[in-house]
Amino acid sequence: MFIVGLFYAFGNFITTSRKFDFGQRRLWAYESWIIFSFYGLFLFLTLLEKEFKIGKIKRPHLHLAEFKKLLLVNLILLVFPWGLFLLFAPASMLELLKLNSVYWRILGGMSLVGALIYYFPYRFYAKRLSYYIIAFGALDNFLAGAIVTALFVSKRVGLVAWSATPLLFYFAYFFKEQAEKYKHLAKK
């Protein structure tokens, strides 16, 4: 999905006339860069996860280190590109990226609230409430990815929003796996 989106956006950037469609050309440049960044981040996350799976040592402190590293990436994403950017980006830029609806601003605020909620398991992993937050994270990220995909298919959001769906599905999988590991560790 990343590769197809990147080729689509970059192809449109190359073929758009420099003289007449500067705004449209700039849109394709932004979309290409954002998709490329999300793809790089996705590769980083999968390589980081493989780094932990290569050892296959079943020690709780290694599980916690893996969890904290990957959750930290999620927290950073919630604060910066999905939170502060949607709240404070200039309206002209959001309009250019087809994110100019008030709902995207609300999503930016909710992403910041989500970062505060997901910080609890990062800081207080041993608390029982952490399990429920982690389980909620799986559902939350899956539904967000499914909704953005449905909106993209119905042409209500642009390519930029849709390019984040693999990350949303990845974090849904991550939270699901972590909830299962948490349950397993709690039994011990």
**Residue pLDDT, tens place only, 83-115:** 998 899 888 878 877 888 899 999 999 999 999
Rounded distance between C-alpha atoms, residue 188 and residue 185, angstroms: 5
Q: What is the 3-state secondary structure (H, E, C) of 9-47?
A: HHHHHHHCCCCCCHHHHHHHHHHHHHHHHHHHHHHHHHH
Q: pTM score > 0.85 for this model?
A: no
Q: For residues 32-55, give the mean pLDDT.
A: 71
pLDDT reported for residue 162: 86
Q: Pick 163 or 109 by higher pLDDT.
A: 109
Rounded-to-integer distance, Cα 144 and Cα 50, Å: 25
